[in-house]
A and B are shown apart, each in its own frame.
Chain A
Amino acid sequence: MNRYAIWKYVVLGIALLLGAFYTLPNFYGEAPAVQISAAKATAKVDLGVQDRVESALKAADLAPELLALEGGSLKVRFDSTDAQIKAKDAIQQALVPDANDPSYVVALNLLARSPAWLSAMHAAPMYLGLDLRGGVHFMLQVDMPAALNKKAESLAGDIRSTLREKNVRHSGISRDGQKIEVRFRDMPTLEAAQRVIQEQFADLQMTASPDGAEFKLIATINPVASRRVQEQAIKQNITTLHNRINELGVAEPVIQQQGTDRIVVQLPGVQDTAKAKDILGRTATLEIRMVDDSAEARSAENSNGVVPFGTERFLERNGQAVIVKKQVILTGENLTDAQPGFDTQNQEAAVHLTLDAKGARIFKDVTRESVGKRMAILLFEKGKGEVVTAPVIRSEIGGGRVQISGRMTTVEANDTALLLRAGSLAAPMEIIEERTIGPSLGAENIAKGFNSVTWGFVAVTAFMCVYYMLFGVISSVALAVNLLLLVAVLSMLQATLTLPGMAAMALVLGMAIDANVLINERVREELRNGAAPQSAIHAGYDRAWATILDSNVTTLIAGLALLAFGSGPVRGFAVVHCLGILTSMFSAVFFSRGLVNLWYGRQKKLQSVSIGTVWRA
């Protein structure tokens, strides 16, 4: 009765093998590495870059242990920190000739030393949280009301110009928070305006009400549109943050949306919080100016000669110089959106810009006067400008909808739209949580967590082996398997391990032994009541199972609650806690039974079992 079918042993064997396999990468430790990623949306890390890096390393007489291109970044591993730093300098020189205008981020990093065949099977070590590796954590709150106010402001301007175009006379438009109020002298005008607005602005919902002698139309952004505005705002802010953080040279930054209006930024290895905060909070500005097309300017464009009075020289991304007038026509404030798309006539890739009412009016006037001339869209960051694009004006452009097209691929259109949008933050952000952990503290925390788990484990197994003899040894092996499986699952899921997570690991081991104590006590009790050894083992496992299930489910409920409502350190704890409970059910019941069956199951005339003293009444 205490025999397992072959397939059960096969399942156990496979589980053990997989467990060992995915736990393995954690033992290799980490090696110094250099990581190269793109700093701009337009720069790509591809095989070409890999060749350049390889030749740069060869020139510097450095032999990397590993050179791998994955997920848009190139990782180069070395055997010593010395080689790593030399290599960083060599690669920096080769890829980033101008430190003020980097196309690539070359950052120092630590990479798992696990052999290539393990990496190829996607077996990677556990991902360490910031409290274990050191770094900065920010939580930013996006000011959504501000984003909605901005949208309402631009809509108010749009309404004003639309009503003027349609000759609907109003007696004033004002904005109060997210409400746009339009006043009218009489009811018929109001109705006419309502029709016009309904037709042209799908994003608005309206209510009309008499206001003393006048009539008032109150327009608000409808829920669907307001959700869209908020989603776009947070997306744009995340993109902007990405671009800025690239400059910090962080190997693996984490930038994530949390909830509807929050962004979490984690920068492993960064210690200079002041600089990080400065970069996160910086604002970029967008400017539209006219290109100087005079003969003088033309010659200055091609040579490095003096630029004409009242103009400046800026570079396009391809390095081509453009001489631009100093007078600013529009700024990014007037640009409400930029989306990639296609020219409706010839299906060429294009970027569609949307300007607000004021911007549209100015744009119309300027384009009417300057057909055939070029205008430049400039992006300023850190006081340094770059020409995003400099198209030729083909005709007068009214209505605030601008299309930039010609000589563009879809990828370029995408990048340009991104650059135009990412130039500025859609809504202001505020740091509402900040955590910095020094690298020495991180290493200490690892040691502390590791020691807690190790010594607790040793103490528990020592006790079990003494108290329950062979059954205690089996329980201890099962506990070790539990730890193995837990680490394997955490590595497989690439869950983030934190110090509370390590505490959860220790706690879960302490709790997991409960199942084996239950079983062993039950077996003893059966023996005490005079059952034969084989049937005592059988009854012990069977009867303990219901209890084990109940107690694990209640523990799991607590774990799930922590997972659902917890944040930060609590979540790290909860993940390990829940996974640990699941693996413990497998190891403590299924696995330990397998071992017992293997040892005792085949002995037909079993006289005694080694489970410590069984006291008989």
Chain B
Amino acid sequence: MEFFKIRKDIPFMKNAIAFNAVSFITFVAAVFFLFSRGLHLSVEFTGGTLMEVSYAQAAELNMVRAQIAKLGFNDVQVQNFGTARDVMIRMPAAKGQSSAQQSEQVLAALKETDSSIQLRRTEFVGPQVGDELAIDGLKALAFVVVGIMIYLAIRFEWKFAVAAIIANLHDVVIILGFFAFFQWEFSLPVLAAVLAVLGYSVNESVVIFDRIRENFRRFRKMQTVEIIDNAITATISRTIITHGCTQLMVLSMLLFGGATLHYFALALTIGICFGIYSSVFVAAAIAMWLGIQREDLIKGQVVKVEGDSDDPNSGAVV
């Protein structure tokens, strides 16, 4: 079996402007929704109490809401979680009151009307922890960006590093845009997924850059644009198959992982789709516009020593 029978190099770079325009519009839309709607942050970030209770029969959400309102908690969200019998209750951190007691009060109140109720999970996060998590998340993001840039700058060249990071940060922003637009819950596992996607989709750009470098050595007469087109065409089959395999795993999580892993898997799915797009259409184009050329990659050493596979720059030997 073979999916990809490509006879000629596909002229990706000819349409680079069109592809990048699409990319840019999506990016702007994502930024717009991030600012206009904001992320629906989970209790971990905002601080507050989250409870998951399960009833013997389908739960009446309005009754649950009324009971909690009686306790004097404001701004409480009550919704079904997974099945009709499971209810998720979310309460913001109450000021001036020991919020660690919140969940017990609520459970006691709910038990009054229906003793069959079972507490499945509670989570209480103080406001100070939430702020820290947000800061730590940003620190992690900065660490990843800087780390990857330094690595790529050493292994390839700064133009590649800049191109790869721009392309992949744009993936991250688009994932966040989706979460803002649909108001999906942004929790810690989602943050982990976003950062994993950043590392993962840089892979994609690396594979293409690797091929570009190799082509520069191999085809000395080719123009930069042709070289990039050839590199992308040669790797496109691998790109789609790998991402397809990773997506199979993520799909399995989406189907079997239950509510806890739902948004995690969703973030990965978006990340994988846009990861392909950005690596193929955006990263290489940015590198091209930044003006990569043969001399950047092959520093004064045009004739290669054959078969020296320990040399990190070793590539094609023709």
Tell yes or no: B60 within 8 A of A by CB: no
A569 with B147: CB separation less than 8 A = no
A438 and B121 in contact, given A463-B245, A554-B203 (Cβ under 8 angstroms): yes
Q: For chain A, residues 336 to 384, give those with C-beta under 8 angstroms from any C-beta of chain B.
A: none
A547 with B210: CB separation less than 8 A = yes
CB < 8 Å: which of B119, B195, B312 contacts A561?
Answer: B195
Tell yes or no: B118 within 8 A of A by CB: yes
A559 with B315: CB separation less than 8 A = no
B-side contacts of A437, CB under 8 Å: 120-121
A460 with B249: CB separation less than 8 A = yes
A455 with B5: CB separation less than 8 A = no
Whole-angstrom CA separation of A506 from B123 in the bound complex: 26
A475 to chain B: closest residue by CB: B245
A433 with B143: CB separation less than 8 A = no
A554 with B260: CB separation less than 8 A = no
B211 to chain A: closest residue by CB: A547
B265 to chain A: closest residue by CB: A503
Q: For chain A, residues 484 to 509, give those with C-beta under 8 angstroms from any C-beta of chain B.
A: 499-500, 503-504, 506-507, 509
Whole-angstrom CA separation of A457 from B245 in the bound complex: 9
Tell yes or no: B140 within 8 A of A by CB: yes
Tell yes or no: B38 within 8 A of A by CB: no
Q: Mark B199-211, 1 if CB is under 8 A from A, else 0.
A: 1101100110010
Shortest CB-to-CB span from B87 to chain A, Å, is 14
A432 with B128: CB separation less than 8 A = yes
Whole-angstrom CA separation of A543 from B140 in the bound complex: 32
Q: Which of B191, B192, B198 has the most CB of A within 10 A?
A: B192
Tell yes or no: B11 within 8 A of A by CB: no
Tell yes or no: A396 within 8 A of B by CB: no
Shortest CB-to-CB span from B311 to chain A, Å, is 9
Q: Mark B29-66, 1 if CB is under 8 A from A, else 0.
A: 00000000000000010000000100000000000000
A566 with B257: CB separation less than 8 A = no
A438 with B120: CB separation less than 8 A = yes
Whole-angstrom CA separation of A547 from B156 in the bound complex: 12
CB < 8 Å: which of A141, A452, A455, A562 contacts B261?
Answer: A452
Tell yes or no: B242 within 8 A of A by CB: yes
Tell yes or no: A435 within 8 A of B by CB: yes
Q: For chain B, residues 221 to 236, give those with C-beta under 8 angstroms from any C-beta of chain A.
A: 234-235
Shortest CB-to-CB span from A611 to chain B, Å, is 10
Which of the segments B14-22, B129-137, B178-186 contacts the partner chain? B129-137
A-side contacts of B124, CB under 8 Å: 431, 433-435
B-side contacts of A573, CB under 8 Å: 189, 192, 196
A577 with B253: CB separation less than 8 A = no
Q: Mark B104-119, 1 if CB is under 8 A from A, else 0.
A: 1000000000000011
B256 with A451: CB separation less than 8 A = yes
Tell yes or no: A513 within 8 A of B by CB: yes
Whole-angstrom CA separation of A553 from B164 in the bound complex: 14
B241 with A561: CB separation less than 8 A = no
B-side contacts of A467, CB under 8 Å: 1, 241
A559 with B199: CB separation less than 8 A = yes
Tell yes or no: A8 within 8 A of B by CB: no
Tell yes or no: A615 within 8 A of B by CB: yes
Shortest CB-to-CB span from A248 to chain B, Å, is 17
Q: Mark A418-453, 1 if CB is under 8 A from B, else 0.
A: 000000000000111111111011001100110111
Q: For chain B, residues 149 to 180, give those with C-beta under 8 angstroms from any C-beta of chain A.
A: 151-152, 155
Tell yes or no: A119 within 8 A of B by CB: no
Whole-angstrom CA separation of A146 from B191 in the bound complex: 35
Tell yes or no: B139 within 8 A of A by CB: yes
Tell yes or no: B69 within 8 A of A by CB: no
B147 with A507: CB separation less than 8 A = no
B245 with A432: CB separation less than 8 A = no
A614 with B2: CB separation less than 8 A = yes
Tell yes or no: A456 within 8 A of B by CB: yes
Shortest CB-to-CB span from A414 to chain B, Å, is 34
Tell yes or no: A5 within 8 A of B by CB: no
A558 with B198: CB separation less than 8 A = yes
Whole-angstrom CA separation of A612 from B5 in the bound complex: 13
A547 with B207: CB separation less than 8 A = yes
Which of the segments A81-89, A215-223, A232-240, A514-522 contacts the partner chain? A514-522
B200 with A456: CB separation less than 8 A = no
B-side contacts of A435, CB under 8 Å: 121-124
B120 with A507: CB separation less than 8 A = no
A448 and B309 in contact, given A521-B237, A546-B210, A567-B136 (Cβ under 8 angstroms): no
Tell yes or no: A617 within 8 A of B by CB: yes
Whole-angstrom CA separation of A613 from B1 in the bound complex: 5
Tell yes or no: B314 within 8 A of A by CB: yes
B316 to chain A: closest residue by CB: A543
Whole-angstrom CA separation of A518 from B2 in the bound complex: 15
Q: Write the residues of chain A forming the contact surface with B, with a CB cutoff of 8 angstroms.
A: 139, 141, 271, 273-274, 277, 430-438, 440-441, 444-445, 448-449, 451-453, 455-457, 459-460, 463-464, 466-467, 499-500, 503-504, 506-507, 509-511, 513-514, 517-518, 521, 524-525, 542-543, 545-547, 550-551, 553-562, 564-570, 573-574, 577, 612-615, 617
A435-B121, A561-B147 known, 18 other contacts, Cβ within 8 Å: A273-B122, A436-B103, A441-B120, A445-B258, A452-B249, A452-B253, A500-B188, A503-B261, A507-B246, A518-B242, A521-B238, A550-B206, A553-B151, A557-B147, A557-B199, A558-B202, A570-B189, A615-B5
Q: Write the residues of chain B forming the contact surface with A, with a CB cutoff of 8 angstroms.
A: 1-2, 5, 7, 44, 52, 100, 103-104, 118-126, 128-129, 133, 136-137, 139-141, 143-144, 147-148, 151-152, 155, 188-189, 191-192, 195-196, 198-200, 202-203, 206-207, 210, 214, 234-235, 237-238, 241-242, 244-253, 255-258, 260-261, 264-265, 268, 309, 312, 314-316
Can you name 19 A-B pairs with beta carbons within 8 Å?
A: A432-B126, A440-B118, A451-B252, A452-B255, A455-B252, A456-B248, A467-B241, A503-B253, A503-B265, A517-B242, A518-B207, A521-B241, A542-B309, A543-B316, A546-B314, A561-B144, A562-B192, A566-B140, A567-B136
